[in-house]
Structure 1
Amino acid sequence: MIAVHDIEHAKRQYHDLLGATFIDANWTGNPFGISVAIAWDAGIELCAPLPGRETDSAVSPFLATHGEGVMNVFFNVDDGDAAMEKAAAQGYGCLTSLDYTQDEIDQHLGGLFKRYQEFTVDTSARCGFTVSLARIERKTDTIL
């Protein structure tokens, strides 16, 4: 996940650089005051403060401290619960978690996956960014 000030500019930049095709995923970011765009084909998620939320969105503190850049790194794991338990045993807390139903996957993620579970781990003090442990199982008949 890359924190940016201007999501439209960043989408053009990564499209031109990598050929990334972005879909808007604002439904996932609105509660946190952020715009979200995901390019499954390039493995990039962009997030930027919503207009009027430049100082109080979930991404604002990162942008104020670090500027634009990598804010979160996703790692695909076979078992999300086990991976989070292992992280917790190492002293890492869970900031947020989600486990989408198939209906939510079909509605919001284009039906690309049969499982989408994610734990955001509080690694920023030790790593400078957060880590997400994600169990993402794509459907065998989809192409990313």
Structure 2
Amino acid sequence: MHVPQVCEAPDMVGRISRTETHKGYRFDIGGHRFYTKVREVEDIWHEVMGDDYITVQGLSRIFYRNNFYGYLLRIFNALGNIGPYETYKTIGSFIKWTIQPKPQEDTFEEWVINRFGRRLCMHFFHSYTKKVWNAFSGAYHTVCLIEEFQYPRPGPGMMRKPC
């Protein structure tokens, strides 16, 4: 049997997967949603958390150019927020890339452009694409954006046990 040794630079285990407390309020650092399609992983979460594991309705929004956009993007909300000129440009970009998509998608950014147009990609996906997909070195993964997720009632800091 192997016993792992965890080495952390800070004086606490968990790094960014923790919950800080200040004046009676809890603040999550790191992971905020727990979602899996793997039943065994979910069973472990429930075993660790017991009754302190809750299901939460999630409201995700993007704050961009002084407006809130639903996330997942909702077409009328997005087009209404960006104004008539940018709506025209965004719809034109969508039509162009729908009619003439890039034949081979080598990056996630190209995949997004082929489905949503370059303009919408520029506004909402570009920085996300660079940050996340550079970490994966171009590998494709299934993305599942959910509106309901499970969460440890006291915060993600409960998912770890200090050594």
Q: TM-score, normalised by structure 2?
A: 0.24
Structure with greater helix share of residues: 2
Greater radius of gyration (CA) = 2
Structure with greater strand share of residues: 1
